[in-house]
Amino acid sequence: MNFLNLKWKLYSNIGTSSIIYKAQDRFDFYIKKVYRKNIPDIYFEMESKALEILKGKPHFTKNCFIDKQNKTIYMDYLGKTLSKTNCPRNWKEQINEILDILQDINLYISDIQRNNICILGNKINIIDFGIVCFNSFNKEQIKSCLTFVFENQLYD
């Protein structure tokens, strides 16, 4: 996948840490996340390292290309933000799959919130790994955060 040749269009400029662009290549969509200059390097470095481990696993991006010099991460488009209308019926099952993957690689993700959960088709995808802890997986904590987000969006 040659991300650099794609025609990038602004997708979201409201995040505090990054500017997001989207591009299309035939039937596939991609995202480019450019970290803002003022954001400490550690966030970009943590996300890069986490994605190297996570990429290709179910519920995470398949493709990932890191441009260190420009603090930019290229990845797959993973869907629209979780909402009442797109929440998959089997979200509990999918959360368990996600927990198994995180347990396998012993990764703790700290920034669990609706904006960091994407839905594509009926699949839950997790994004945004600027705040993670390596070798610190905690099943009960992550499970309660994910469950809270999913139960809450059902009623808002």
Name the residues that contact ligand ADP, by CB under 6 A. 12, 15-18, 20, 31, 33, 75-79, 81, 115-116, 118, 127-128, 130
Q: Which is nearer to Mg ion, 115 or 147 (CB)?
A: 115
In 3-state terms, what secondary structure has residue 101?
Answer: helix
CA angle (128, 148, 21) in 5-degree steps? 25
Alpha-carbon 45 to chain mean position: 15
Burial class (CB in 10 A: 0-12, 13-18, 19+), 32: buried
Residue 78 binds: one of ligand ADP, Mg ion, none (C-beta under 5 to 8 A by kind): ligand ADP
Residue 124 binds: one of Mg ion, ligand ADP, none (C-beta under 5 to 8 A by kind): none
Burial class (CB in 10 A: 0-12, 13-18, 19+), 39: middle
Residue 34 binds: one of Mg ion, ligand ADP, none (C-beta under 5 to 8 A by kind): none
Q: Could you tell me the smallest distance in angstroms from the CB atom of residue 140 to ligand ADP?
A: 24
Q: Are 79 and 119 in contact (CB under 8 A)?
A: yes
Q: Could you tell me the smallest distance in angstroms from the CB atom of residue 73 to Mg ion?
A: 12
Q: Are 123 and 91 in contact (CB under 8 A)?
A: no
Interface with Mg ion (CB under 5 A): 115-116, 128
Residue 72 binds: one of ligand ADP, Mg ion, none (C-beta under 5 to 8 A by kind): none
Q: Could you tell me the smallest distance in angstroms from the CB atom of residue 144 to ligand ADP?
A: 21
**Closest residue to ligand ADP, Cβ-based?**
15
